[in-house]
Structure 1
Amino acid sequence: MQDKIRQLFSENIQTMIATSEVMAGPIEQAAFRIVSSLIEGGKVICCGDGATAGLAQHFAQLLLDQYETERPCLPAFALHQDQSSLSPSPTTNTDYFARQVKALGQKGDILLVISLRGEEQSLIKAVEAALTCDMSIVALTVEGSDELSGLLNAQDTELRVPAHRNARVYECYAFLLHCLCELIEMSLFPQQGEL
């Protein structure tokens, strides 16, 4: 059992090292885009499907409240997966994020999308909706996320984790989101970090 535990730690560490070697530039770019949007009065809209929905909520909450620095709230929220409604809707059950993006997203906002497979139709439709609203995308993806990745353009940033096991990817995503929070706070509130 202890050998297995050590193996799990080793896999996590190797995933983090591999990600750090290819991701420093994209992480910096993603943080810069989010900071620029916030400075210009934009907001960060987060979404994930299934297991990654919790990460989207976590990131939005860290921006809204605080990460490690006492500072003003930043405008961020996570889209809801709850499809319950009092009346039947003619939309397909993969439109729920896209409809929220269309209703709440504006030019200059950021859509932060977190995908474990790159083929979740709800996330793909959310990205398509964000692009029609002239929003920028920050996408956390994995290798083989060609359908979602193919929608991104020069104003978007992809943080593609070089791992295949969902558990390692999820762990890496959580770390990447914490990196972004720290860089955002450091950029927007440099004095508070010195207290």
Structure 2
Amino acid sequence: MQELIKQSFTESIHTKIAALDVLAPIIENAAQIMLNALLAEKKILCCGDRFSHSVASTLANALNYRLEHERPSLPAMALSADPVLMSMLSDEDKATQQFSTQLRAIAQAGDVLVIASAYPNSPTSLRTIEAALSKDMLVVALTGSDGGEISGLLGPNDVEIRIPSDKAIRINEVHQLVAHSICDAIEQTLFPGM
């Protein structure tokens, strides 16, 4: 069992090292897009499918409250994936609209959608990105593998942070690190010395 545990750690480390040089400038670009939106008094809306929703929730809460230092709150929120909503959207087709419906109701032009998906052909993610684009939002997509259909939806001003792995769990681990890195960069820029 210890060998399996060590293998998980080793895979995680190798995935992060492979991502480091390739993704640093892309993550910086994503952080700058989000920072520009916040400075323009826009909001950051986050979501993710399956385990990736934890990444979205982490990012939204870290922006809204704090990552490491006490500071003023920033306008960010994770779109809801609560059980009541899921029961209202009980059939499979409607369930893929769980985030896109909310996005259409509360998003405004200039807001930023941050969407995390280790499954880049997820119908839920695709519908959410389509809704964001219809609202004239910018999209920061955290993906993996080959980027799938998500890559094809993104425009020239959107950002894809694609993790170089085909394993969903490794992708999700690096997505968490990306979320922390983005939030830290925004905090340090907006609130230096705190």
The TM-score range, normalised by the shorter chain, is: over 0.9
Structure 1 SS opposite 2:67: coil
Q: How far 1:4 moved relative to its partner? A: 2.8
Aligned partner of 2:86: which letter? Q
TM-score by length of 1: 0.92
Q: How far 1:146 moved relative to its partner? A: 2.3
- How far apart are the structure 1 equivalents of 2:46 and 2:170? 21
1:42 aligns with: 42
Q: How far 1:74 moved relative to its partner? A: 0.5
Aligned partner of 2:146: which letter? G
Aligned partner of 1:145: which letter? G
Tell me the percent identity: 38
8 Å Cα contact 1:117/1:144 also seen in 2: no
2:173 aligns with: 171
Aligned partner of 2:79: which letter? L
Q: How many residues align?
A: 190
Aligned partner of 1:31: which letter? A
Aligned partner of 2:16: which letter? M
Q: Deviations over 1:149-175 (max 9, x none)?
A: 101011111000001112211111111
Q: How does 1:79-90 map to 2 (within 5 A)?
A: 79-81=79-81, 82-85=85-88
1:158 aligns with: 160
What stretches of structure 1 of length at least 5 have no aligned partner?
none
Structure 1 residues 119 and 88, CA gap change in structure 2 (3 angstroms): closer
Q: How does 1:98-113 map to 2 (within 5 A)?
A: 98-113=100-115
Aligned partner of 1:63: which letter? L
Q: CA RMSD in A?
A: 1.7
Q: How does 1:125-144 map to 2 (within 5 A)?
A: 125-144=127-146
2:125 aligns with: 123
- How far apart are the structure 1 equivalents of 2:79 and 2:68? 24
2:20 aligns with: 20
Q: Deviations over 1:58-84 (max 9, x none)?
A: 211111110011110011111112323
TM-score by length of 2: 0.92
Aligned partner of 1:29: which letter? N
- How far apart are the structure 1 equivalents of 2:54 and 2:11? 23
Q: How far 1:88 moved relative to its partner? A: 9.0
2:76 aligns with: 76
Aligned partner of 2:109: which letter? K
Aligned partner of 2:149: which letter? E
Q: How does 1:177-188 map to 2 (within 5 A)?
A: 177-188=179-190
What stretches of structure 2 of length at least 5 have no aligned partner?
none
- How far apart are the structure 1 equivalents of 2:94 and 2:3? 47
Structure 1 residues 151 and 7, CA gap change in structure 2 (3 angstroms): same
